[in-house]
Amino acid sequence: MFVPAWDPTWGPQKRIYHLATPAFTNKNIPFWHRPTVLCENFKPVFITKKSLVQCAGSFFSGKYLGSAIVKTNPKSPEDQLLFVVDDEFTMEPTYFHPSSFIKHPNKYFSMSKNNGRLRIPFRDPHVMPNGKIAVVTGGRRWGTFGNICEVNIQGSVLSITRETILDNSMLRFGEIERPTFIDDLMFFSVMDGKPSILIAELSRSGLYSYVGEVRNSTGCYGPSINEDFQLLYWNKPSFTIGLSSRPGSNIVKKNGEWTLLRDALSTPDDFNLNVFKLFIDNRSK
């Protein structure tokens, strides 16, 4: 049985996690507004409360740092938030909702209001080499350019430490998604044009500058890299998780260019759709 899967991320002990949902029966609902489950190799492990639809996240220091859409009209720019939960998913998440404290339009976050309240994109968090957290924000749907800000979380307090980590060469995309970091490199995707994986590099200014596109990555989206230079991604439009079956790194640099070695992770033979749907139905309000 085929199950649509996307936004993979590396978890503890190099386990592979990803988002998934039952088959797309209603084509009028975009996939990012469907009941979405975080899975470990198609086994459901976590779902947000019913008032939210979860987006991508990542693991760090014994925690899972996730993001979610506040349910709203899909035609309106979404309001989004972050949450933190232990990486065993045994405790209640702590939520951080930026539109509750960012009240005025800001080109790095959002220019869009609905019923007098700012709608702020705030998703795809990932820890950077400096220990702070990169969060995707901005975007054409919110009346501005795609952006990545820097935040710090201490207990139940989130603070924005930099409005952007990008230089002008990066502030030109309609929407940036899924930044992932290793050394001085950032891999990411954008909503503009064909799906692929792009690269930026940390410059002397302390901001990330655009480098180019990873070769052989057309159709790939939403990367996640680990310390062994193993790059996860998902394939558009097939909704399959991509990784290499070869041992070691699946992204190599030759003649100054990065190249991706491609493969796919299939749905396990013992996958139980009824268990999957029950997991969704039993979530909290």
Determine how many CB atoms are found less than 10 A away from the CB of residue 263.
12
Tokens 């991604």 found at: 233
Do residues 79 and 51 lie in contact, with contact meaning Cβ atoms separated by under 8 Å?
no
Three-class SS state of 10? strand
Residues in CB range of 257: below 8 A, 6 or more apart: 212, 215
DSSP string over 221-260: EEEEE-TT--EEEEETTTTEEE--SSSS-SEEEETTEEEE
Residue 280: closest CA among 2, 60, 52, 15 = 52
Q: What CATH code is assigned to 5-281?
A: 2.115.10
Do residues 30 and 74 lie in contact, with contact meaning Cβ atoms separated by under 8 Å?
yes
Tokens of 65: 């740092």
Q: Which amino acid is at 267?
A: T
Do residues 250 and 243 lie in contact, with contact meaning Cβ atoms separated by under 8 Å?
yes
* Per-residue confidence (pLDDT) for residue 230, from 0 to 100: 92
Q: Establish whether the linkage from the previous residue to 44 is cis, with ω within 30° of 0.
A: no
* Per-residue confidence (pLDDT) for residue 26, from 0 to 100: 65
* Per-residue confidence (pLDDT) for residue 35, from 0 to 100: 80
Residues in the chain: 285
Residue 200: closest CA among 218, 219, 225 = 225
Successive 10-residue mean pLDDT values, the chain, 285 residues:
89 94 70 84 92 94 96 78 97 95 96 89 97 97 97 94 98 97 97 92 97 94 94 90 75 88 68 71 71
Residues in CB range of 20: below 8 A, 6 or more apart: 3, 4, 5, 6, 36, 37, 39, 42, 44, 276
Do residues 71 and 59 lie in contact, with contact meaning Cβ atoms separated by under 8 Å?
no
